[in-house]
């Protein structure tokens, strides 16, 4: 539900934009896509609908049907846009460090992923969506990301091998799961399982614990 300030801001935006809509299809398409992403990032998937997107984009919802084939197509467009998320957010260079062991690699990836997720409200909403609904839409949205993370790991791994007897697929899934839930819970309620996560110091502690967890299994 929109609160008064959001409504006021919207009206203000409309009022501040008396200029006539230009007849530029690609520009309109971009405006719609941008509006959709902002709306999803700011309001979450609960109030994510045709009407709300059109309202924010400042155009008629009919155009969303025409250009994207409805909400489904629009979500798909967001998804393909997010295909490069890992590539854009998580650098492949070692940042001047020497990654000698698989543990080094996973520690680095974990901390980078933690930071990237903290910094991206849109991705957070998508992950929350992912665990709340089971539509084909959402599945496709997140599949690309987990695949991309796996590919990142593959590329960076090189000749590094994990310790013997460790089920890396399962352990890494747990590590990524912990990061995602921690960030989501913190973004939603400021804490996770009783651990307050608000200022930078809180996050330093969390990052330290994450390091310990990773180093515990991978050395």
Q: Which residues bind its own copies (CB under 8 A)?
A: 44-46, 128-134, 138-139, 142, 146-147, 149-150, 166-167, 169-182, 184-185, 187-189, 192-195, 205-206, 208-210, 212-213, 215-217
What's the closest the beta carbon of residue 130 comes to DNA, in angstroms?
19
Query: How far is the C-alpha of 219 from the C-alpha of 211, rounded, in Å?
Result: 10
Which sign does the torsion angle of CA 110, 116, 121, 123 carry? Answer: negative
Which sign does the torsion angle of CA 80, 81, 86, 88 carry? Answer: positive
Evaluate whether 160 touches 151 at the Cβ level (below 8 Å).
Answer: no
First vs last C-alpha separation in the chain? 48
3-state secondary structure of 158: coil
Nearer to its own copies, 7 or 131 (CB): 131
What's the closest the beta carbon of residue 29 comes to DNA, in angstroms?
8
Q: Which option in DNA, its own copies, none does residue 27 bind, with CB closer than 5 to 8 A by kind? A: DNA
Alpha carbon 198 to its chain centroid, in Å, reads: 19
Does position 59 interact with DNA (CB under 7 A)? The reply is yes
Does position 135 interact with DNA (CB under 7 A)? The reply is no
**Which two structure tokens, joined as six digits, stand for 117?**
């997720």
Does position 45 interact with DNA (CB under 7 A)? The reply is no
Collect contacts of 202-206 with beta carbons under 8 A, ≥24 apart.
203/118, 206/114, 206/182
Does position 71 interact with DNA (CB under 7 A)? The reply is yes
3-state secondary structure of 196: strand
Angle at 202 between CA 111 and CA 97, to 5 degrees: 25
Q: Which option in DNA, its own copies, none does residue 205 bind, with CB closer than 5 to 8 A by kind? A: its own copies
Does position 65 interact with DNA (CB under 7 A)? The reply is yes
Residue of 47, 101, 137, 142 interacting with DNA (CB under 7 A): 47
What's the closest the beta carbon of residue 74 comes to DNA, in angstroms?
10
Does position 6 interact with DNA (CB under 7 A)? The reply is no
What's the closest the beta carbon of residue 125 comes to its own copies, in angstroms?
8
Nearer to its own copies, 92 or 133 (CB): 133
3-state secondary structure of 3: coil
Query: How far is the C-alpha of 79 from the C-alpha of 135, rounded, in Å?
Result: 14
Applying CB under 7 A, which part among 23-31, 109-117, 172-180, 188-196 lies near DNA?
A: 23-31
The site for DNA (CB under 7 A) is made up of 20-25, 27-28, 47, 49-52, 59-63, 65-66, 70-71
């Amino acid at each position: 539900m929109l609160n008064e300030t959001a409504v006021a801001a919207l009206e203000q935006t409309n009022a501040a934009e008396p200029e006539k809509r230009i007849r530029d299809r690609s520009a309109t398409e971009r405006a719609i896509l941008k509006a959709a992403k902002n709306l999803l990032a700011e309001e979450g998937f609960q109030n994510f609908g045709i009407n709300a997107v059109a309202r924010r984009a400042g155009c008629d919802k009919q155009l969303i049907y025409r250009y994207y084939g409805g909400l489904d197509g629009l979500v798909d467009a967001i998804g393909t846009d997010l295909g490069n998320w890992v590539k854009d957010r998580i650098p492949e260079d070692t940042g001047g460090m020497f990654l000698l062991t698989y543990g080094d690699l996973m520690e680095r990836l974990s901390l980078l992923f933690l930071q990237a997720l903290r910094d991206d409200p849109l991705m957070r909403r998508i992950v929350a969506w992912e665990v709340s609904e089971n539509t084909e839409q959402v599945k496709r949205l997140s599949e690309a990301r987990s695949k991309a993370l796996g590919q990142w790991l593959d590329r960076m791994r090189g000749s590094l091998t994990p310790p013997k007897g460790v089920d890396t697929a399962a352990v890494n899934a747990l590590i990524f799961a912990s990061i995602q839930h921690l960030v989501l819970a913190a973004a939603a309620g400021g804490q996770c399982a009783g651990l307050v996560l608000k200022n930078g110091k809180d996050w330093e502690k969390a990052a330290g614990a994450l390091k310990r967890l990773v180093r515990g299994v991978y050395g």
